[in-house]
Structure 1
Amino acid sequence: MKRFVHAHATHPQWSVATAQVVAQLRAQMAAHPDRRWPLGLLYLTDHYADHARELLASLSAELPQVTDWAGAVALGIAAQGVEYIDEPALSVMLCDLEPTRYRVFHGLAPLPAARGPDGFVPQTALVHADPATPELPELVRELAERTVGHFVFGGLVASRAGAVQIARSSRVGLAGHGQAAAEGVWEGGLSGVAWAPDVGIVARVTQGVRAITPLRRVTAVHGHRVEALDGEPALDVVLRDLGLPAHDLGAIVARLRGTLVGWVAPAAARTPAPPVPGRVPLRLGEDVLVRHLVGIDPAQRALVVADELPPGAGWMLCERHVHAARADLLRIGAEVRETLAGESDADPLQRVAGAVYVSCNGRGGPHFGGANAELQLLRQALGDVPLVGFFAAGEIAHHRLYGYTGVLTVFVADADER
């Protein structure tokens, strides 16, 4: 695996943008005539959704060496240092990987458990999912369990065109698999690419919020309804932590409308060193899941959260915060560099073959201070590495669904092939 090639373009006409991308890719590929590019990662904004099948067919015809494709249609997509949000654009990365080192999967050709019939063993997987899929958290968890690393990454695909996904595999015969398999464009369910254990991958999650209240414990809960924190009525604890008057319902609603809940699984489940109760953390860890606070019950002094919290879960209120988001994004870039530097004497950024970045629809440049600001920060942290990705309606990392996060996955070039 050597450094990947990538290209991106914007134009009102999908055919013109596609031609521009093909020209860019061919120029890069011409410099490496001995290399193979069997896998393409493709992301489109929904301005091209009606032409997704034609666009994929055009790319396949112009780049016949690319036999497998995966990707999605979204409101916004990412490229190296650039965000295309609510404008017609596509972003493509071609991966120099032997076909034995990955598998494209979709609803008619799902990822097999542990080891496929051809001996393929998935280490991890890039996942695109329809947010309307029933029992989605359980499906993501099950998919992660099918990998050796019990780790997947990706996001929930949502756009004005629906949950359109791209998954075409040369390994799946067209007979009996219908028109969708032939065209490679799907709606609904899960799809993506699984990676073999010998594909070097470094992944990190960055949170886009900061805690504004101390850590509490959920001591009484019924489904989405949190009734007590630290043994006291939940609403009373929240009002005290935020310094809100108990009698002013209008002020309470106004303050909580922009407030999020960060929760952590009970210590006995997956938290070996839980935060100290009563302390506001300086940074939210990857074990914190951020969800919307969707209602209050003044009579019963309870709150309603857009998730089912287990008894004993950690609880803190959060808010979106630009400076915290910027600092945390730079942090994960530094962690990637440090990880790669610890494995070799070579320049760590020269070891990056390519990257996939999935960010929340609620993030993007405007949240970071200007157009393209989020991707420019990532470029500052990683350098000019090939990168594609999209803005999601929810992010996937480990075996969980996140919100207001960015999920960065870096592919590490083989030691003898940089």
Structure 2
Amino acid sequence: MKLFPSGHATHPQWRMAAGLVLAQLRAQMALPDYASSPTLGLLYITDHYASDAQDILDHLSAELPEVTDWSGTVGIGVSANNAEYFDEPGMTLMLCALPSDQYRVFSGVAPLGNSEMSGFEAHTALVHADPATPDLAELIGEMAGRTDTGYLFGGLSSGRGGALQFAIGGNGNIRGHGAAGGVFSGGLSGVVFGEGVRLVSRVTQGCQPLRSGAVREREITEADGNLLLKLDGEPALDVLLADLQVSLERPQEAIDAVRNTLVGLADAGADGIRRTGDLGADVLVRHIIGLDPTRRGIAIADTAEAGMRLTFCRRNAQAARADLMRICAEIREELEPEEQTLATARAVAAGEAEAAPHPARRIAGAVYVSCSGRGGPHFGAPGAELQIVRHALGDVPLVGFFAAGEIARHHLYGYTGVLTVFTAND
């Protein structure tokens, strides 16, 4: 598999940014290591360009007639290899060269067809979603159930002026777009991939359990919808206040402490708190949205059931950096063969300054969806999060966006990053 051409740019005028992106793509497509005839474009724009979304898609489609299929969305920020455009005009585009019988673009007006009728078996899926969609978590679970592996990756649009998504299926296999033009809002859209498209994906957490004393994963012993009533058999509010070492007799201090605290939820037996004291991949971080002094309960931004596990946690930049480095290392380890050719060994061992894209790394391209709460200064400096990815994986083609919620497997996460790489077949 050859490298996927990619480009990114920022400019107050979208046409200038598009011109810079196209120049990068065409230069790469002329190189022998890059795909020269890609068919699927993954396009992400910041909300500064949202009002021109249809014009941008039309322009890029006209300039890249070989690209017949498009998918993407809008975010408060977008990402590329070693760069992020957060709260500024920006666009990032990657052109994927995949067998036409191994992927399908879907959207609300062109939904994924029945596999028995279409002959296409969905294995995994890249999913973009409108955060205002009702019953979104259930729709994501349903979508995961329609794939062989149950694995989704992607995120929720995060544009401040409303969500929008790109979705065009131009290979003749999908009907229903009509005059819609490929720019949509509401529901889910994205790309489903067949078994022949090999992906490696990992979730990285951005929060850390409270360190007041021993890290404790508690059992929810009584709940009423989104109201937690008892933890480990004790009133939930009392447990929270004790862990935060605050009292309602000093309300402002208690409110400040609670506002900075999140809850990590996990099903019984799932990957909760690891031996290292970090959050596992199955933990879903949710906000505390209220306290109930009468019932001694805690209201959270999700429903909970007795038997689930809970950990009080907070955002932590140092833990986020360490966990991001961990998942990058896991991906590299999975992709590195036991017996390496000389080209592979040299490419893998190259330092950051020499880490040019190389097929021997076995990564054709990558998609990184990070929480909008992680972007910008959270990692210490603009672009620091993407610099970590580049340092760990090398200078691989990469696109992505900063989301209002991240999708991995059948879960809807918060404060996480989802890194997925397209890899060469064994």
TM-score (norm 1): 0.93
Alignment deviations for residues 247-282 of structure 1 (CA, whole Å, 9 cap, x no partner) = 322221110011100011133xxx2x7659xxx962
Cα deviation, residue 116, structure 1: 5.4
Alignment deviations for residues 130-170 of structure 1 (CA, whole Å, 9 cap, x no partner) = 01111111100010011011110100112123111000111
Runs of at least 5 residues in structure 1 that lack an aligned partner in the other structure: none
Q: 1:381–1:365: structure 2 CA closer, same or farther, 3 Å change rule?
A: farther
CA–CA distance in structure 1, aligned partners of residues 7 and 339 of structure 2: 29
Q: 1:173–1:323: structure 2 CA closer, same or farther, 3 Å change rule?
A: closer
* Contact map agreement 1:365 1:375 (CA 8 A) in 2: no
Partner of 2:357: none
Q: 1:156–1:176: structure 2 CA closer, same or farther, 3 Å change rule?
A: closer
* Contact map agreement 2:273 2:279 (CA 8 A) in 1: no
Alignment deviations for residues 304-348 of structure 1 (CA, whole Å, 9 cap, x no partner) = 001001111101100000100000000000000111124663536
Q: 1:185–1:4: structure 2 CA closer, same or farther, 3 Å change rule?
A: same
Matched, 1:329 2:327: no
Cα deviation, residue 172, structure 1: 5.0
Partner of 1:82: 83
* Contact map agreement 2:109 2:176 (CA 8 A) in 1: no
CA–CA distance in structure 1, aligned partners of residues 24 and 16 of structure 2: 13
CA–CA distance in structure 2, aligned partners of residues 252 and 329 of structure 1: 32
Partner of 1:178: 178
CA–CA distance in structure 1, aligned partners of residues 364 and 223 of structure 2: 46
* Contact map agreement 1:76 1:83 (CA 8 A) in 2: yes
Give the letter aligned to residue 94 of structure 1.
Answer: L
Q: 1:108–1:34: structure 2 CA closer, same or farther, 3 Å change rule?
A: closer
Matches within 5 A, 1:115-264: 115=115, 117-171=117-171, 177-180=177-180, 183-212=181-210, 213-245=215-247, 247-264=249-266
Cα deviation, residue 223, structure 1: 0.4
Q: RMSD of the TM alignment (CA)?
A: 1.9
- Range that drifts further, 34-43 or 392-401: 34-43
* Contact map agreement 2:77 2:87 (CA 8 A) in 1: yes
Alignment deviations for residues 100-150 of structure 1 (CA, whole Å, 9 cap, x no partner) = 11111101221234x253321111000000011111111000100110111
Cα deviation, residue 89, structure 1: 1.2
CA–CA distance in structure 1, aligned partners of residues 226 and 263 of structure 2: 12
Partner of 2:414: 403
Secondary structure (helix, strand or coil) at the match of 1:21 reads helix
CA–CA distance in structure 1, aligned partners of residues 183 and 206 of structure 2: 31
Partner of 2:355: none
CA–CA distance in structure 1, aligned partners of residues 36 and 76 of structure 2: 33
Secondary structure (helix, strand or coil) at the match of 2:121 reads coil
CA–CA distance in structure 2, aligned partners of residues 118 and 344 of structure 1: 40
Runs of at least 5 residues in structure 2 that lack an aligned partner in the other structure: 349-359
* Contact map agreement 2:2 2:35 (CA 8 A) in 1: no
Matched, 1:387 2:398: yes
Matched, 1:6 2:1: no
* Contact map agreement 1:363 1:404 (CA 8 A) in 2: yes
* Contact map agreement 1:220 1:311 (CA 8 A) in 2: yes
* Contact map agreement 1:214 1:281 (CA 8 A) in 2: no
Give the letter aligned to residue 119 of structure 1.
Answer: G
Q: 1:342–1:233: structure 2 CA closer, same or farther, 3 Å change rule?
A: farther
CA–CA distance in structure 2, aligned partners of residues 52 and 137 of structure 1: 27
Secondary structure (helix, strand or coil) at the match of 2:118 reads coil
Cα deviation, residue 299, structure 1: 2.5
Give the letter aligned to residue 258 of structure 1.
Answer: N
Matched, 1:359 2:370: yes
Cα deviation, residue 176, structure 1: 5.6
Cα deviation, residue 283, structure 1: 1.1
Partner of 1:68: 69
* Contact map agreement 1:38 1:96 (CA 8 A) in 2: yes
* Contact map agreement 2:272 2:280 (CA 8 A) in 1: no
Matches within 5 A, 1:39-78: 39-78=40-79
Secondary structure (helix, strand or coil) at the match of 1:161 reads coil
Secondary structure (helix, strand or coil) at the match of 1:117 reads helix
CA–CA distance in structure 2, aligned partners of residues 344 and 247 of structure 1: 64
Fraction of identical pairs, as percent: 53
Cα deviation, residue 34, structure 1: 7.7
Secondary structure (helix, strand or coil) at the match of 1:93 reads strand
* Contact map agreement 1:6 1:91 (CA 8 A) in 2: yes
CA–CA distance in structure 1, aligned partners of residues 41 and 35 of structure 2: 18
Q: Size of the alignment, in residue pairs?
A: 405
CA–CA distance in structure 1, aligned partners of residues 176 and 8 of structure 2: 34
